[in-house]
């Protein structure tokens, strides 16, 4: 801890005395250096609950466990504050995250009505597979076959959202081996906005399957898919990776009980990514999309209740014949 703090202080001081020649550096390099300099503020802020941990040799992660006190303090200094987002549910969770759960004056909630979205999504839950890390490999062939069936039923490319690159790469290899006639486009890691837009436009024109990673800028920040996709597949809840950070967050919530702790640490962040991704598929009146939730966990109430109301469904698919029937009846 102390060595990392000393390093950040020295680096920040060096930047002040020796300015960077940013015109000679790649943009990503400049951003990385400034983020490293910002680490000094991370160490000196006493309001943040912190965790320093190493996922593997040579890497040190500086993680904030809880910023609610800091955020609440800043908001408390404002005469008025307007916080806007399309995904502020569940409310109790975000009030806690923003340090507003015990605010003297309860926040006023205003929701913009979009009645045209209520019938825009046709959703179903695929009970045939379990996409948890320990069991997903045994269902990988079914996942590949499901995507091939979806292509046959869609006029446009099928967008498939995965929780990780590794999972997406595994399924891509299976699809390319079992269905070599299908063209799969997998998003790259990172990339500038113009490159992201180009990838989407090229994939819509050339690919059969577009693989996107949940939580990435492609899944959350791109509006190019609105009205251009008939069918999307969500391959499992995008729960955070189990690591030292999540373990510490679970430990800090022991007093809440395991179910509440699991919801706060894993389920809410994961399902929020799904809500954000699916919201990009229908952006205007007249647009529509069909959504296949490809994992039996989506049928559980603890997951269904965290989906936005437009995406909730009690239509369950337990046999391949039922999938084919659902796909055939748009």
Residue 197: how many CA atoms within 13 Å on its side-chain side? 5
Average pLDDT over residues 248-277: 95
Q: What is the mean pLDDT of the chain?
A: 89
Q: What angle do CA 171, 176, 177 make, to 5 degrees?
A: 95
Q: What percent of the chain has pLDDT over 70?
A: 96
* CB of 49 closer than 8 Å to CB of 65: yes
Average pLDDT over residues 77-91: 86
Average pLDDT over residues 189-204: 78
DSSP bridge pairs for 16: none
Cα 16 to chain centroid, rounded: 36
213-240 pLDDT tens trace:
988 766 655 567 778 889 999 999 999 9
110-150 pLDDT tens trace:
888 888 888 899 999 999 999 999 999 999 999 999 999 99
Average pLDDT over residues 88-94: 87
Structure tokens at 91: 């409310």
Q: How far, in Å, CA of 199 to CA of 37, rounded? A: 32
Note the pLDDT of residue 220: 57
Lowest mean pLDDT among 55-64, 138-147, 162-171, 320-329: 55-64
Give all domains of the chain, ordered by start, each with its CATH number. 2-67 (no CATH), 115-328 (3.40.50.300)
């Amino acid at each position: 801890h102390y060595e990392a703090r000393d390093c950040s202080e020295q680096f920040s001081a060096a930047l002040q005395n020796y300015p960077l020649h940013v015109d000679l550096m790649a943009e990503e390099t400049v951003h990385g250096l400034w983020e490293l300099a910002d680490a000094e503020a991370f160490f000196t802020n006493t309001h943040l609950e912190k965790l320093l941990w190493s996922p593997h040799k040579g890497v040190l992660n500086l993680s904030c466990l809880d910023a609610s006190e800091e955020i609440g303090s800043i908001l408390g200094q404002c005469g008025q504050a307007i916080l806007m987002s399309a995904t502020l549910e569940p409310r109790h969770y975000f009030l806690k995250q923003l340090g507003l759960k015990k605010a003297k004056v309860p926040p006023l909630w205003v929701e913009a009505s979009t009645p045209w979205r209520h019938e825009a999504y046709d959703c179903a839950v695929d009970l045939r597979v379990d996409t948890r890390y320990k069991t997903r490999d045994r269902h990988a062939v079914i996942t590949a076959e499901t995507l091939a069936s979806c292509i046959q039923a869609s006029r446009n490319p099928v967008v498939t959202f995965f929780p990780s690159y590794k999972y997406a790469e595994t399924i891509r290899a299976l699809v390319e081996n079992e269905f070599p006639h299908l063209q799969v486009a997998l998003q790259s890691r990172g990339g500038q906005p113009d490159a992201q837009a180009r990838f989407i436009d090229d994939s819509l024109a050339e690919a059969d399957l577009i693989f996107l990673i949940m939580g990435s800028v492609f899944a959350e920040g791109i509006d190019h898919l609105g009205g251009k996709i008939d069918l999307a597949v969500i391959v499992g809840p995008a729960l955070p990776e189990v690591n030292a950070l999540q373990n510490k967050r679970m430990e800090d919530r022991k007093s809440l009980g395991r179910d509440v702790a699991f919801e706060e640490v894993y389920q809410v962040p994961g399902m929020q990514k799904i809500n954000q991704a699916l919201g990009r598929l229908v952006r205007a009146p007249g647009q529509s999309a069909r959504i296949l939730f490809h994992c039996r966990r989506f049928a559980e109430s603890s997951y269904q209740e965290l989906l936005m109301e437009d995406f909730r469904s009690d239509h369950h698919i337990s046999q391949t014949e039922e999938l084919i029937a659902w796909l055939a009846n748009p």
